[in-house]
Amino acid sequence: MAKYKRILLKLSGESLMGEKQYGIDEKRLAEYAAQIKEIHEQGVQIGIVIGGGNIFRGLSGANKGFDRVKGDQMGMLATVINSLALSSALVAAGVKARVLTAVRMEPIGEFYSKWKAIECMENGEIVIMSGGTGNPFFTTDTGSSLRGIEIEADVMLKGTRVDGIYTADPEKDRTATKFSDITYDEVLKRGLKVMDLTATCMCKENNLPIVVFDMDTVGNLKKVISGEEIGTVVHN
């Protein structure tokens, strides 16, 4: 039995690179599509937001001399490319998927609205919401928080390369210990980099819990949906 009826799945753009140095790894994409299909078949309504860091990251572009607004707009377009790739992989796996965009760009995707997204999910489609919030200076973390709250998701599932939240970066500090669950207040007090500050505060204020888990291990998404205690739960 699925623990959640409707979820917002946040995927990192970097994870789509898989073994590559840049762009999209077709093998990783197919693995993601298979995992998403598995939970979709359990009747879970799924909204997805994907980052664009495997193609272009606005903030790093600004550090290299790009205008920040144009850099962020390039980052938004990178999320659209990733969203189209994932929707293609899902359709190939036999699942109906629809791409909605935060900025008008028909026929590439339909213009996002809460009502359109919910209607599509209730009709059994997986909805991929691309283009961030449509505004510069906001990350895709904030975009996923906003969309999760808008579509009235039960939870945000943040799929990363790490298996949860630690006291420090486990890739750099071997003494880092993992939290099984943690409150938003504690995350803010400790300055933990779960998501950016705006996204964290939005989830806290709107009481949207987050589960941070390792999406790159095949089968983990189904385990989270089934209520297994993997990853870290962030809550009020």
Find, among 41, 132, 51, 43, the residue nearest to 90 by Cα.
41
Does the annotation place 63 within a ligand binding site? Answer: no
According to the annotation, is 53 in a ligand binding site? Answer: yes
Is 154 annotated as a binding-site member? no
Q: Is 72 annotated as a binding residue?
A: yes
**Contact partners, residue 107, CB within 8 Å, separation at least 6:** none
According to the annotation, is 137 in a ligand binding site? yes
Beta bridge partners of 49: 10
173 is in an annotated binding site: no
Give the tokens for residue 35: 């995992």
135 is in an annotated binding site: yes
18 is in an annotated binding site: no
Q: Is 43 annotated as a binding residue?
A: no
The single residue listed with the structure tokens 């937001």 is 49
Residue 181 assigned to a binding site: no
Helices (H), the chain: 26-40, 58-63, 68-92, 114-122, 140-150, 184-190, 197-205, 220-225
Q: Is 138 annotated as a binding residue?
A: yes
What residue type is 220 in one-letter code?
N
Is 52 labeled as ligand-binding?
A: yes
The answer to the question of whether 217 is labelled as a binding residue is no
Q: Is 57 within any annotated ligand binding site?
A: yes
C-beta atoms surrounding 209 within 10 Å: 18
Q: Is 12 annotated as a binding residue?
A: yes
- 11 known member of a binding site: yes
Give the burial class of 222: count Cβ atoms within 10 A of its Cβ; 0-12 exposed, 13-18 middle, 19 or more buried: middle
Please tell me whether 25 is known to bind a ligand. no
Binding site: what residues are annotated?
10-13, 52-53, 57, 72, 133-140, 160, 166, 169
Binding site for UMP: what residues are annotated?
52, 72, 133-140
Binding site for ATP: what residues are annotated?
10-13, 53, 57, 160, 166, 169
